[in-house]
Amino acid sequence: MLDRAIALLRAGEVIGVPTETVYGLAADATNPAAVAKLIEQKKRGSFHPISVLCASAQMAFDLGNDVPESALRLAARFWPGPLTMIVRRGPGKIPDLLTAGQPFVGVRVPDHPLTLALLERFASPLAAPSANRSGHISPTTAAAVRREFGEEIALLIDGGPCRVGLESTVISFASPRPVLLRQGGIPQELLEAEIGPIDPAIDPNRSRSASDRPPRRYLLRTPLVLVRGLEEIPASERKKAGLLAWGPCPTDFAICRSLSPSYRLEEAATKLFGLLRELQESGVDRIFALLLPEQGLGRAINERLRKGAAGSNFWEECRGD
């Protein structure tokens, strides 16, 4: 299968690949026509930067210029893994379409044996946003990618369910101090233990400068309501509602799915998108979701839930990977 995948990539085709975070759509990052085809299939605005998967830190940072020491330290500690770093782009390495003309590029080394083997044999970086239409929930199984795209992509590598199931943490080195753009698969506390304090993200609606990535959004068709305890949900609303639980499921909802009956944050991260998709497709009037503890992966999961519940149910997507 890897031989076929490499041949398709070299021919400018788009394929589906697994990572430990979510499945991605992959194309040759050095081929502008292939990147354009990927953008068209994802139905994503071309002004949105696309991050890049690489086989190693050397391949990743070869795309950059003046990579700071703190980024090198994070790479040594957390790659391969669910961490995307935005660094200053090197001249002439990748097409402008990939970075939306910005002088920065997002790079990551994924922690999945099949995709790492593909990258090593392909010997070139892959543009790889999440394998969903822009505005839809990120897929964490090959089956979810098939439902989304059917036969529209040339090949889908089935690597099993995603181990992390939550997009990568995104940290930007576009400013003198590192900035956390998105909570994700590696908790902020671990990053700060390695390189010191990290600044919070700038409001992406305030500026369109190079260091302010435009917001991507996931749209849930079913209203999502966040609560801190079951007592906040009226009994009269439960029979027609779904519940995304934290801990054991109660029995008085139309449907309930638990992120982790035993209160394990790692399990919750792996199940988040799949369970949201299942609840959305169940036909309930609304979905109630219990917020998780504001620590580690719980903070990242709550960030996704808050984006999903805000305004018109917009859901931020920053990579996706």
Provide the residue ranges of all domains of the chain, joining segments of one domain with +: 2-214, 218-316
Select 218-316's CATH number: 3.90.180.10, 3.30.420.40, 3.40.50.11030, 3.40.50.2000: 3.40.50.11030
218 belongs to an annotated ligand binding site: yes
Question: Could you tell me the maximum CA-CA distance found in the chain, to the nearest angstrom?
Answer: 61
β-pairing, 199-200 with 179-182? parallel
pLDDT, tens digit, for every residue of 252-298? 999 999 999 999 988 888 888 889 989 999 999 999 999 999 988 88
286 belongs to an annotated ligand binding site: no
Candidates 150, 185, 157, 161; CA nearest to 265 is 185
146 belongs to an annotated ligand binding site: no
DSSP, collapsed to helix, strand or coil, labels residue 201 as: coil
Compute the distance between CA of residue 247 and CA of residue 258 in angstroms, rounded to an integer: 6
262 belongs to an annotated ligand binding site: no
70 belongs to an annotated ligand binding site: no
Place of tokens 């099993």: 160
30 belongs to an annotated ligand binding site: no
Burial status of residue 197 (CB atoms within 10 A of its CB: 0-12, 13-18, 19 or more) = exposed
Compute the distance between CA of residue 49 and CA of residue 62 in angstroms, rounded to an integer: 18
321 residues of the chain, pLDDT tens digit each: 999 999 999 999 999 999 999 999 999 999 998 998 888 888 765 467 899 999 999 999 999 999 999 999 999 999 999 999 999 999 888 988 888 878 999 999 999 999 999 999 999 999 999 999 877 888 999 999 999 998 899 999 999 999 999 999 999 999 899 999 999 999 999 999 999 999 987 544 343 333 344 344 445 789 999 999 999 999 999 999 999 999 999 999 999 999 999 999 888 888 888 899 899 999 999 999 999 999 888 888 898 898 888 743 222 333 344
168 belongs to an annotated ligand binding site: yes
138 belongs to an annotated ligand binding site: yes
CATH T-level assignment (fold) for domain 2-214:
DHBP synthase (3.90.870)
Bridge partners of residue 88, in order along the sequence: 104
Place of tokens 């200053």: 88
310 belongs to an annotated ligand binding site: no
